[in-house]
Amino acid sequence: MAARTVKLAVIPGDGIGPEVVAEGLKVLDAAASEHDISFQTTEYELGARRWHATGETLPDSVEQELRGHDAILLGAVGDPGVPSGVLERGLLLRLRFAFSHYVNLRPVRLYPGVGTPLAGVRPEDMDILVVREGTEGPYAGMGGVLRKGTPGEIATQDSVNTRLGVERVVRYAFAKAAQRPRKQLTLVHKDNVLTFAGELWQRVVREVGAEFPEVSVDYSHVDAAAMFFVSQPQRFDVVVTDNLFGDIITDLGAAVAGGIGLAASGNINPENDFPSMFEPVHGSAPDIAGQGKADPTATLLSTAIMLDHLGLDAAASRVERAVSADLRARAEFGAGERTTSAIGDEIAKRVAGQG
């Protein structure tokens, strides 16, 4: 029997989701056999197909079953036939909220060999860890509509920021910053306009910062941060920000760090009161689904974040090294026209072959 058994819930989802998840599992298995881990996986059919068939996004019973796992690996959900918001609010955000994934961890790293649209930016200029709040802010779903369909209509959308919610993610971000060589934390917000929320974020950063005197603290308005992601990415080490700002700057980060095909994420409950969920940042890309064209790299990097979260550090860095070597090889030898599974195969081989 393996030294460590991980109960993994798998939600392949729609479009390219199942294709990239298959490679994720392949690479996880390769890492598992090197590190005496065993993955016990259960697949859940959730997403657009289920919604079309049954009208369900996340039955309570499935949520209950997911709770019993150590982690969740998700591919991507959605197709053009599902109204906007149904799966986002009914499945993705419901899981992030129900399982208290208050840390949405999104590295913005330019791996050696990977092309960036930014002229003159080198890998050492871009190694940002964005710690995005995941359970409140404008994502809370609060607000409403009054006098709908009349000239006097009003629609509101409320950002909810609690001391509890802000403090826990800020503390996590400080702890991460303290572990990194640069030890720098940048709060990204818009405190000159969103004064109520901004003041709370600033105050919490100040107060929690007192526990981390070794971390230097910086602040950037979100509009300036968007600019700096393009013009001076080396300004940033760890970034902590709210749910919506984090959504925007990490997609921007993906664009400058080699594209959405490489962007990984973890929806993390640091206390392990609930299973954390790992997913590529990209969507279901129905236009290329089923053709073996999807790049599974973002999913593979997400499994590395997962292994790290599970305390399986050696396996995590093994996967990351293999991905990194593959990315470098693409640049040296050309990417060729490898299929999704060919990329997965080669990275799995690298995982197995490493010392």
Nearer to ligand IPM, 88 or 346 (CB): 88
The residue annotated as part of the active site, out of 111, 127, 176, 190, is 190
Residue 169 touching a copy of itself (CB under 8 A): no
Among a copy of itself, ligand IPM, none, residue 334 binds (CB under 5-8 Å by kind)? none
Query: How far, in Å, are 39, 129, 188, 204, 217 from residue 213 at the CA level?
Result: 40, 19, 20, 14, 9
* Rounded distance between C-alpha atoms, residue 166 and residue 80, angstroms: 34
- How many residues in the shown chain lie near a copy of itself by CB under 8 A? 63
Which of ligand IPM, a copy of itself, none is residue 342 near (CB under 5 to 8 Å by kind)? none
Q: What tokens were used for 282?
A: 């990209």
Q: Which residues contact 60 (CB under 8 A, 6 or more apart)?
A: none
Contact of residue 98 among a copy of itself, ligand IPM, none (CB under 5-8 Å per partner type): none
Is 139 designated active site? yes
Backbone angles phi, psi at 58, to 5 degrees: -150, 95
What one-character DSSP code corresponds to residue 88? I
* Binders of a copy of itself in range 69-88 (CB under 8 A): 84-85, 88
Residue 352 contacts residue 34 (beta carbons within 8 Å):
yes
Query: Would you call 287 a catalytic residue per the annotation?
Result: no
**According to the binding rule CB under 8 A, does residue 151 interact with a copy of itself?**
yes
Least separation, in Å, of the C-beta of 248 and a copy of itself? 5
Does residue 342 interact with a copy of itself by CB under 8 A? no
CB of 40 to a copy of itself, least distance (A): 33
Residue from 14, 79, 247, 308 carrying the catalytic annotation: 247
5 binds a copy of itself (CB under 8 A): no
Instruction: Residue 222: name the closest of 174, 159, 178, 265 by CA.
Output: 159
Active site (annotated) includes residue 251: yes
Whether 223 is catalytic is yes
The least CB distance from residue 247 to ligand IPM, in Å, is 4
Q: Looking only at residues 188 through 247 of this chain, which bind a copy of itself when binding is defined by CB under 8 A?
A: 190-200, 222-224, 226-231, 244, 247
> What is the SS3 assignment for 187?
strand
Catalytic residue among 158, 223, 287, 313: 223
**Per CB under 8 A, 158 contacts a copy of itself:** yes
- The CA distance from 322 to 260, in Å, is 19
Position of minimal CB gap to ligand IPM: 88
The Cα 12–Cα 101 span in angstroms is 19
- Cα separation of 47 and 153, whole Å? 33
For residues 282 and 299, give the distance between their C-alpha atoms in angstroms, rounded to a whole number: 9
The residues, ordered by sequence, that sit 6+ positions from 164 with a Cβ below 8 Å of its Cβ are none
Residue 284 binds which of ligand IPM, a copy of itself, none (CB < 5-8 A, kind-dependent) = none
Residues marked as catalytic: 139, 190, 223, 247, 251
